[in-house]
Amino acid sequence: MTVVTHSPVWRPFTQHALQPGAFKIIHAEGAWLTAEDGTRFLDAISSWWVITHGHRRPEIMEAIRRTTESLDQIIFAGFTHEPAEALARRLVEITQPGLDYVFYSDSGSTAVEVAIKMALGFWRNRGEPRTRVVALEHSYHGDTVGTMSAGARSVLSAPYEPLLFDVARVPFPGKGKEQETLDALEAFCREGAAAFIAEPLILGAGGMLAYSPQTLAEMKRICERHRTLFIADEVMTGFGRTGTLFACEQAGVVPDIACYSKGLTGGSVPLAVTMCRREIFEAHYAPERARAFFHSSSFTANPIGCAAALANLDIWEKGDARERVAGLCAMQAERAARFKTDPRFSAVRHLGTIVALDLIASQRGYLTTIALDLIRFFNGRGLLLRPLGSTIYVLPPYCVTGEELDLAYAAISEAADQFGSCS
């Protein structure tokens, strides 16, 4: 296999001393990546959760091509363009009623940073000194210093610990432990928390940990009772991953602020939005410049990204996305059920298009080398799977077929024989 080893590229989340190489991909299509030497990989994690419909979905590629005929990056203060205007209108329509304003940026992390800044700006401009942010145990909100602060602390954030701001943390609402979470949240909200941020229904990087829509709805009610702003980080869950367009829909919850990025353009090009309720925009609307919302990314509302997102929304509204997602949810449910009684795995869980299961192994935790061994094993079988420690998850693009899924699950079963402690 062609592996690039001598390169000036410093790759993300990579210990180059242990993972020196990278497969050089020259073609992507549907659920498959093709390397320079012809080796093919089934992209069973949607290229780190971004690709929704499939790689290089023709309608999205066409929208990108068409837009480059007339536009590239345009300054977004004092100027605007149709792709951004049209996309904002469409997003207000397609999201739950109440999310009336759209702030553009370019990644999930910036969308979350923007959300936190909006929440603090809201309280400051209203003259109520609320600054405390509450977050869920095991949560992940990005890798910038601000979003790392909101996320769970671990060996990944340890070197930056002195710079991270303090966040109030409530326990993860695991089955049977929901009341503990709700009580802790209520206590922080009663003390006047500015905002509560959560990944709705499932925590991604924290280990694909799911919790119930009832708990999500109850957490939102607690926030409402104390006027704490509820920020939904739908960066991973948005655009169908949990079976519905947005995860919050399953709980009947309308967030005060919502962050979308990964699937916004179908995963094709970077773009992010932070959407909010009218009151939050209005708190920044005043004759004084000092009350403005001071945030900008150079690539705010990139027209090509906006056009890709518009093509993505067309696929959701007029195309096959909803049927594909429903079909994939059913296929994943069936396969998860097969592993439920498998003694080599624990905590087999399924939510929407996502299945996750914990390999019973003697090593545990993110830094154990079992994850690297598993990645190598799967790569060797033509599979892109990247376990989080010993948690293996399958989060495929929606075009994946049952036979393709079976390739992934067959390899997972084989891996359990080779690396599990029950073997």
- What are φ and ψ of residue 133, in 5° steps? -105, 135
Candidate segments 154-162, 198-206, 218-226, 389-397, binder of ligand PLP by CB under 6 A: 198-206
Interface with ligand PLP, residue 242, by CB under 6 A: no
Interface with ligand PLP, residue 141, by CB under 6 A: yes
Candidate segments 135-143, 164-172, 390-398, 414-422, binder of ligand PLP by CB under 6 A: 135-143
- Rg of the Cα atoms in the chain: 21
Indicate which single residue of 229, 231, 235, 315 sits in contact with ligand PLP (rule: CB under 6 A): 235
Candidate segments 37-45, 106-114, 282-290, 341-349, binder of ligand PLP by CB under 6 A: 106-114
Indicate which single residue of 204, 263, 305, 397 sits in contact with ligand PLP (rule: CB under 6 A): 204
Beta bridge partners of 22: 4
Q: Which is nearer to ligand PLP, 109 or 274 (CB)?
A: 109
DSSP class of residue 50? T
- What are φ and ψ of residue 329, in 5° steps? -60, -45
Q: Which is nearer to ligand PLP, 261 or 390 (CB)?
A: 261
How far is the C-alpha of 13 from the C-alpha of 45, rounded, in Å?
16
- The gap between the terminal CA atoms of the chain, to the nearest Å, is 29
How far is the C-alpha of 164 from the C-alpha of 410, rounded, in Å?
42
How far is the C-alpha of 121 from the C-alpha of 334, rounded, in Å?
46
Candidate segments 122-130, 136-144, 181-189, 281-289, binder of ligand PLP by CB under 6 A: 136-144
Q: How far is the CB of 145 from ligand PLP (least distance, A)?
A: 13
Q: In 3-state terms, what secondary structure has residue 355?
A: strand
Total number of residues shown for the chain: 423
Candidate segments 54-62, 67-75, 166-174, 199-207, binder of ligand PLP by CB under 6 A: 199-207
How far is the C-alpha of 149 from the C-alpha of 161, rounded, in Å?
8
Q: How far is the CB of 107 from ligand PLP (least distance, A)?
A: 4
Size, binding site for ligand PLP by CB under 6 A: 14
Tokens of 337: 């059920």
> Binding to ligand PLP (CB under 6 A): which residues in 3-42?
none
**Residue tagged 């084989």 (tokens):** 414
Q: How far is the CB of 112 from ligand PLP (least distance, A)?
A: 6
In the shown chain, the binding pattern of residues 256 to 295 toward ligand PLP, with x for contact by CB under 6 A and - for none, equals -----x----------------------------------
Q: How far is the CB of 316 from ligand PLP (least distance, A)?
A: 20
Interface with ligand PLP, residue 199, by CB under 6 A: yes
Reference 112, options 80, 145, 82, 85; nearest CA is 145
Q: Residue 357 carries which side chain, given as an amino acid letter? A: L
Centre a 10 Å sphere on the Cβ of residue 155 and count the other Cβ atoms it contains. 9
Binding residues for ligand PLP, rule: CB under 6 A, are 107-109, 112, 140-142, 199, 204-205, 233, 235-236, 261
